[in-house]
Amino acid sequence: MNLIIMGAPGAGKGTQAELIAARENIPAISTGQILRDAMKAGTELGNVAKSYVESGGLVPDEIVIGIVRDYLVSDACKNGFILDGFPRSIAQAQALEDMGVKIDAVLSIEVDDARIVKRMSGRRVCECGASYHVDYNPPAVADVCDKCGKALYIRKDDKAETVINRLETYHSQTEPLLDFYRERGLLVAVEGQEKVEDTTELVREALSKIDK
Ligand code: AP5
């Protein structure tokens, strides 16, 4: 399955992408996580990305398009992939089409802005990529990752004012992609629920109906 997951910041893209990836045994490619890893490692990519990510804007198209292109031609993606957080602009979607990669479906997880703000304040993440929520998806031991045992922390871009900017960026630059994919008959929309497992069930049901 070649799947794109869309949704506002904090809609649950990463959470659902990891679950689908484990179920389907395909990689989930999160451009946000790739950029955060590069920022942490202090690479040239990370240094360029930092100001965009930390202010809640989009990293320039040509940079993320290059990253995704490299992943999609790698062996890891030969049996399918999930794109989490890409494309995020019409230019990125067009570049993906130009790569000639067949997309089976575009899953949009829909959550309203007020619930997003509430969710982001409770998110805790691990450097291994795992993500939790203090109320909705807590780790077994508070502030410790279930997967690798490291200490959890709050993402810098989860500050309230940055979340507002990220939502604005989503509505102005990314939301138009819903029509782009609706016109191509690829859009599958699911309403994000209050509980992770309820959203997972809706996603599973929606994806069971798509042609692969
Ligand atoms: P990215 O990392 O993609 O951030 P995002 O889109 O803002 O999404 P998040 O990771 O914040 O949230 P999510 O939807 O994955 O939700 P999650 O599952 O964690 O990008 C970060 C930045 O990188 C961007 O702002 C941009 O600067 C840059 N960037 C990335 N891609 C780019 C691109 N293509 N082009 C240009 N720039 C790019 O869930 C959120 C929280 O809610 C968690 O705590 C979770 O446990 C909880 N939760 C999840 N589901 C539920 C549920 N159903 N009920 C209750 N709680 C839930």
The domain spanning residue 90 has which CATH number? 3.40.50.300
- pLDDT tens digits for range 46-87: 999 999 999 999 999 999 999 999 999 999 999 999 999 999
- The answer on pLDDT for 97 being more than 80 is yes
Residue 157 lies in a domain: no
Least confident range of 115-119, 142-146, 198-202: 115-119
Distance (Å) from CA 22 to ligand 1 centroid: 18
Q: Alpha-carbon distance 106 to 30, whole Å?
A: 15
DSSP annotation of 76: G
Point out the ligand 1 atom lying closest to the alpha carbon of residue 89.
35
122 in any annotated domain: no
Specify if 64 maps to a domain: no
Task: Return the residue whose CA atom lies nearest to atom 12 of ligand 1.
Answer: 10
d(CA 199, CA 191): 7
Name all residues whose Cβ lies below 6 A of ligand 1: 7, 9-15, 30-32, 35, 52-53, 56-59, 64, 85-86, 88, 92, 119, 122-123, 131-133, 136-137, 157, 166, 192-196, 199
**pTM for this entry:** 0.93
Catalytically active residues are: 13, 88, 123, 155, 166
Q: Report the number of distinct structural domains present in the chain.
A: 1
200 conformational bin, left if phi > 0, alpha if psi -120 to 50, beta if neither = alpha
Rg of the chain taking only CA atoms, in angstroms: 16
Looking at the domain assignment, is residue 145 inside a domain?
no
| Structural domain harbouring 101 | 2-26+79-111+168-207
Q: Is 130 domain-assigned?
A: no
In a domain, 96, yes or no: yes
CB contact at 8 A, 59 and 49: yes
